[in-house]
Amino acid sequence: MSFVSPLFLWYFMPAILIAVLVLPRSWRNGIVAVGSLVFYATGAGAFTLLLLTCMVVNYAAGPALEPDPWHPHLQRRRRWLLIAVVTFDLSILLIWKYAGFATEQIAWFARLFGGDFPIAELALPIGISFFTFHHISYVVDIYRGERPALRNPVSFGTYISMFPQLAAGPIVRYHEIADQLPQHRSHRLDDIAAGFPRFALGLCKKAVIADSLAPMVDACFSTPAEDMTFAIAWLGAIGYTLQLYFDFSGYSDMAIGLGRMLGFRLPENFARPYSSVTVTEFWRRWHMSLSRWFRDYVYIPLGGNRDGAAKTYRNLWIVFLLTGFWHGAAWTYVVWGVYHGVLLVVERATGRDASPRTTAGRVGRRVLTLFLVIFGWVFFRAPDLGYAFTMLGDMLIPDFTGLNDVVEGALTNQRLVLLLAALAVFFLPAYPVTGPLLESARTKPAAALRVAVMTVGVFYAAVLVATGTFSPFLYYQF
């Protein structure tokens, strides 16, 4: 079930909100947990059993992972239990997400010597990367003593399976939400009043802009490599840069808005990333919940920046190699992660990870950062490395060939207008960020934006959804 499907918008979401408002307050976590599992099962089917199995293992391990100052001799047992549970979680992720990729590499190597090797073909469970990271956050935070284990299985089920963030984030670290999980949590109508405009903003981003740009982007990236031109390459790269942002930030806005309507405060995930002056700043603004997760559970445990420049660069590179691999089992994602890791190391090594002091310097660095990010998205979207390098080559060598008939047909007048309007995100100031402003600001401009989003924007988005002109969120594949 997708947030932009009629089933969700007109039946599931209203039913959950009404149940939460009408039924006793002590039932709310149960309503959210059961509703979330139903939400997941409609799209994942039998994979719901895999999710439930992971939940049972991590929930059962939680109490035994808590620090016990009265029995320090249990520290070794706790450490080995943590290793076992994290290994279990990562094994589930590795098997279901990366077995096919691994066997493809083995089969390729075997063919070099005239051999053969079977390739595993496993369907990817929806949201497996996200609920795996939630489970790891849960057990690690308990082990560190940052929060106690949840004794109530309903509260645990609410945290792991909460439908706003289950399929594509934001990634909610356990210590961020633990204090919100007790069933005596208050829930007021003003939560819905604050959360719905945020949800509506995300719906407009997704249905009106991202899905409208999708056919044009698909046409560009479907162009045979030998027919690629300078114009098609740049149109596809810029179009995808915008499509991905409006699709994923739109999902995040919808998730945060839904969470707020249910009484939860989910973490922010985007803060105008295309306004960044450095690649380092870009990663403080893009998919922020993922960056924070890797910082807390990978970068800092590796040593962070505590042991000198060389180890800091190593840790950065490892984190972004894993970031690329987390996104997908393909060499394109690995290269994309390594590419960003190299950029971050270069910025830190040259002292260019800080914003320039002059206006001209900031403008120049912002333009450079944007181009570097756009080049990176080509690897992210391309079907393989060969195609990505061909496309990048055409982006760097101008020609006067123009667009082919397929791309021209996909670039309708409506999509051209929306593309030009979407380009505004390249020129906006870094602050204020629209989502939090829309949700909580009491200024007249914010009020006017809320009215526009909840009337004209939602009406137009609803028409698009009703006519079936919507597609799955891009991050569902991760």
Query: What is the arithmetic mean of pLDDT over 429-445?
Result: 81
* Sign of the torsion formed by the C-alpha atoms of 97, 98, 99 and 100: positive
Note the pLDDT of residue 371. 96
What's the mean per-residue pLDDT of the chain? 89
Total-model pTM: 0.92
* Sign of the torsion formed by the C-alpha atoms of 301, 302, 308 and 309: negative
Q: Contact at 8 Å (CB) between 50 and 93?
A: no
Distance between CA atoms of 289 and 269, rounded to whole angstroms? 6
Note the pLDDT of residue 304. 85
Q: Contact at 8 Å (CB) between 182 and 263?
A: no
Distance between CA atoms of 269 and 431, rounded to whole angstroms? 15
Distance between CA atoms of 25 and 21, rounded to whole angstroms? 8
Q: pLDDT tens digits, residue range 451-473?
A: 888 888 888 888 888 877 667 77
Note the pLDDT of residue 453. 85
Q: Contact at 8 Å (CB) between 53 and 180?
A: no
Report residue 201 as tokens: 């903003």
- The dihedrals phi and psi of 117, each to the nearest 5 degrees, come to -150, 130
Report residue 167 as tokens: 């399929």
pLDDT band at 75 (very low <50, low <70, confident <90, very high): confident
Question: If you count DSSP H runs as helices and E runs as strands, how many of each does the chain have, helices first?
Answer: 24, 0
Closest listed residue to residue 211, CA positions, set 478, 468, 476: 468
Note the pLDDT of residue 463. 83
* Planar angle of CA 148, 150, 151, nearest 5 degrees: 120
Query: What is the arithmetic mean of pLDDT over 235-253?
Result: 95
pLDDT at residue 365 tops 90? yes
3-class DSSP assignment, residue 328: coil
Report residue 397 as tokens: 């060598």
Would residue 340 show up in a list of annotated catalytic residues for this protein? no
Closest listed residue to residue 267, CA positions, set 250, 282, 255: 255
Report residue 72 as tokens: 């320090």
pLDDT at residue 187 tops 90? no
pLDDT at residue 217 tops 60? yes
Note the pLDDT of residue 465. 83
Query: What is the arithmetic mean of pLDDT over 402-411?
Result: 90
Q: pLDDT tens digits, residue range 126-159?
A: 889 999 999 999 999 999 999 999 999 999 999 9
User: One-letter amino acid identity for 164?
Assistant: P
User: One-letter amino acid identity for 64?
Assistant: A
Query: What is the arithmetic mean of pLDDT over 434-461?
Result: 82
pLDDT at residue 357 tops 90? no
| Cβ count within 10 A of residue 3 | 27
Query: What is the arithmetic mean of pLDDT over 395-406?
Result: 89
Q: Which residues contact 451 (CB under 8 A, 6 or more apart)?
A: none
Note the pLDDT of residue 452. 85
What HEC string does 40-54 produce? HHHHHCCHHHHHHHH
pLDDT at residue 440 tops 70? yes
Distance between CA atoms of 252 and 248, rounded to whole angstroms? 6
Distance between CA atoms of 270 and 258, rounded to whole angstroms? 16
Closest listed residue to residue 165, CA positions, set 242, 83, 237, 253: 253
Q: Contact at 8 Å (CB) between 280 and 214?
A: no
Query: What is the arithmetic mean of pLDDT over 300-317?
Result: 88
Note the pLDDT of residue 469. 66
Note the pLDDT of residue 39. 92
Q: pLDDT tens digits, residue range 37-61?
A: 999 999 888 999 999 999 999 999 9
pLDDT band at 477 (very low <50, low <70, confident <90, very high): low
Q: Which residues contact 366 (CB under 8 A, 6 or more apart)?
A: 275, 276, 277
Note the pLDDT of residue 340. 95
Note the pLDDT of residue 112. 79
Tell me which of 135, 287, 327, 340 is the catalytic residue. 327
Closest listed residue to residue 158, CA positions, set 289, 39, 22, 3: 39
pLDDT band at 259 (very low <50, low <70, confident <90, very high): very high
| Cβ count within 10 A of residue 338 | 17
Return the percentage of the chain with pLDDT > 70, whole number.
Answer: 97
3-class DSSP assignment, residue 144: coil
The CA distances from residue 236 to 5, 232, 376, 391, 413, in Å, are: 26, 6, 13, 9, 16
187 or 329, higher pLDDT: 329
pLDDT at residue 185 tops 60? no
474 or 62, higher pLDDT: 62
Q: Contact at 8 Å (CB) between 173 and 293?
A: yes
Lowest mean pLDDT among 198-207, 392-401, 433-442: 433-442
Encode burial over 123-136: b for 16+ CB neighbours within 10 A, e otherwise: ebbbbbbbbbbbbb
